[in-house]
Amino acid sequence: MGITSKLSPLPVDDAEILKQLPEAELLALLTAVAHITDDLEVLDDRLYPNLLTLREPQSGYTEEQQALARDIVMRGLRKFRDEQKGVPARPSLERLRTIMQFVAGEPVSERYVPLLLEELALDGDQLRAPQWNKSSIAPDRDFSAIIIGAGMSGIAAAHRLRQAGVPVTILEKNDDVGGTWLENKYPGCRVDIQNHMYSYSFAQRHDWPFFFSPRQVLHEYFRNCAEEFGLLPIINFKTEVESAVWDEDAQQWVVTSINAAGTRRVDRANILVSAVGQLNRPNYPDIAGIDSFAGDSFHSATWNFNIDLTGKKVAVIGTGASACQFIPQVAKQAGELFVFQRTTPWMIPAPRYQETVPNGFNWMLSHVPFYAEWYRFSMFWRGAEGMLPAATVDPDYPPTEKSVGLMNEMMRQMLIEWTNALTEGDEVLRAQLTPNYPPLSKRFVVDDGSFALSLRQPHVSLVTDKIERIEATGIRTTDGQLREVDVIIYGTGFKASQFLTPMKVTGRNKTDLHEQWSGDARAYLGVVIPNFPNFFCLYGPNTNIVANGSIIYFSECEVYYLVECAKMLLESNLGSLDPLLSVHDEYNERIDAANRLRTWGFSSVSSWYKNANGRSAQNWPFSVLEFWEQTRVPETSDYKLVSQ
């Protein structure tokens, strides 16, 4: 499985195309045909999508509309094939915007167009790849980078820095690339954003086997990317960073790491990139008696496959995104399963969640030029600002712990209908699975109903009484009941607020990063930190998203920014840069004020979106467009600049 699939020519036999057509997604296919035939008439008014039904199969087209669309597509493809003119030059911006608006089903503001062009990658990687190279701007300067972590963000950063001619060393604690997709192996683990969008803009596949890939597929994708970009030789596996110290005289980072054999190594570089993620240090719950359990236990992120759950009495603690994926799988094996739920998650339906991509659809993606790009665009646009309006607190509504605004209330109603359908005839389960806080305050559980349906089996119980303690033989709740179990599985999440732990990072004037943060991580633009020159965080403070975009998009923006910072260092012959405290503080005030006006900032429900101070150090409160705009060009006035 390669990462960038090659296109095959359209067959001369119409029957072959017609055979595949029923399984194609028609809206994006129409736009691809308009593009390759340079004929906007293809975008027939009768097929302009309805925003209200856009998310339904075939964008909500009626049978009649589908027949019309297939007819238009077929005529267009025949014309494209038979005229043999090939793909025309990139349409003008105006024509592109017309096509964008058709597939979006709504006006696309001019401000978005440059961002969307990058995501569309019609010219390949040209727009987002670095437009400079060290060899031409500072050929003689000894300048290199260290990246900590070879997960999704680390791979992107290494690829881009190397494209710009900057030598890179990667230090990775695991024995393989892939980060979260390597570590989380629990049964049922899969991505909950469609892969045609949850993939690098610069490494798009036409042959995703699933709409939402299982972890193995994603791990293989990231491994193939690392291989194809030539990164494997520069990754030091099983090498965990212990400390990083800024050497002001040399204007370099000194990074000490330790390998599996206990041997330490020291690396030096001009820039240091932390690509360690937010969600990789398992969180074990603070429950009395946790160490007294005599049976087997493990965390979802360190699944113990040596323990056969067949016929066993199993307890799962937690009903977050991970647990809701593995509970249906555990239920298939366990003799008896107790699921301990502290807070009910909101479940959002994703009907194609476990489905494979139909052959005909993949066939079209690999035969029709730009179909894959336009399909990705349609996914990107729908997810771009997506649910952000529903996450907005309306002070006049007035906001409560039920809903924070009209859109939020409409979403609540829609989700309750889904829960009600899944719990039909079981009033107890319905009450247990109906959340009592506004949707979008916590992470959704994206699901096709498997989680709720697994709870309806006779050998599965959902326990909502508070856990009092864990004892040698099981779990006791505050009503006095002890559920005796053989195995406890902790689906209790990660230490998301403890950014960059347990590494010790020492910046200018011996400033310790964790002391500076004091449990409340902050960065400027989510990437750079005062007193920590030439230090760049990926998926750092306030770059997580709840209602819009994908983490890969955010990482690509952050990587673009850091590569531009490297350019600034080289072009202006600078030794280092770190953001001014005043700029950083002002930025964080703006972030905090905006986060307070989002559901996750308003609601008091417990979630990993808040740190011990009750502040969201995790989430980005604005649009994806604003993140893109702020990560375009580093402003010299934002920085303390030190010459070489």
Q: Which residues bind ligand NAP (CB under 6 A)?
A: 190-192, 279, 285-287, 300, 317-323, 325, 342-343, 443, 467, 491-494, 606, 608
Beta 487-490 vs 313-317: how paired, if at all?
parallel
Q: Closest residue to ligand NAP, Cβ-based? A: 320
Closest CA to 153 of 539, 625, 627, 620: 539
Cβ-based nearer residue to ligand NAP, 97 or 196: 196
Cβ-based nearer residue to ligand NAP, 169 or 194: 194
Q: How far is the CB of 480 from ligand NAP (least distance, A)?
A: 18
Cβ-based nearer residue to ligand NAP, 35 or 443: 443
Cβ-based nearer residue to ligand NAP, 25 or 183: 183
Cβ-based nearer residue to ligand NAP, 65 or 319: 319
CB 7 within 8 A of CB 369: yes
Q: How far is the CB of 422 from ligand NAP (least distance, A)?
A: 18
Q: How far is the CB of 476 from ligand NAP (least distance, A)?
A: 13
- DSSP category for residue 241: E
Q: How far is the CB of 600 from ligand NAP (least distance, A)?
A: 11
Cβ-based nearer residue to ligand NAP, 191 or 594: 191
**C-alpha 624, offset from chain centre:** 13
Distance CA 276, CA 642 (A): 27
Q: How far is the CB of 265 from ligand NAP (least distance, A)?
A: 31
Cβ-based nearer residue to ligand NAP, 263 or 436: 436
Q: How far is the CB of 351 from ligand NAP (least distance, A)?
A: 16
Cβ-based nearer residue to ligand NAP, 204 or 544: 544
Distance CA 81, CA 11 (A): 8
Q: How far is the CB of 533 from ligand NAP (least distance, A)?
A: 31
Phi-psi region of 251 (alpha: psi -120 to 50; beta: other; left: phi over 0): left
Closest CA to 257 of 91, 426, 505: 505
Write the CB contacts of 246 (distance below 8 Å, at least 6 apart in sequence). Answer: 252, 253, 254, 506, 507, 508, 532, 533, 535
Distance CA 604, CA 581 (A): 30
Write the CB contacts of 367 (distance below 8 Å, at least 6 apart in sequence). Answer: 7, 8, 9, 10, 11, 17, 20
Distance CA 432, CA 341 (A): 9
Distance CA 465, CA 512 (A): 42
Closest CA to 441 of 279, 602, 620: 602
Q: How far is the CB of 499 from ligand NAP (least distance, A)?
A: 15
Q: How far is the CB of 546 from ligand NAP (least distance, A)?
A: 9
Cβ-based nearer residue to ligand NAP, 170 or 279: 279
Beta 639-643 vs 574-579: how paired, if at all?
antiparallel
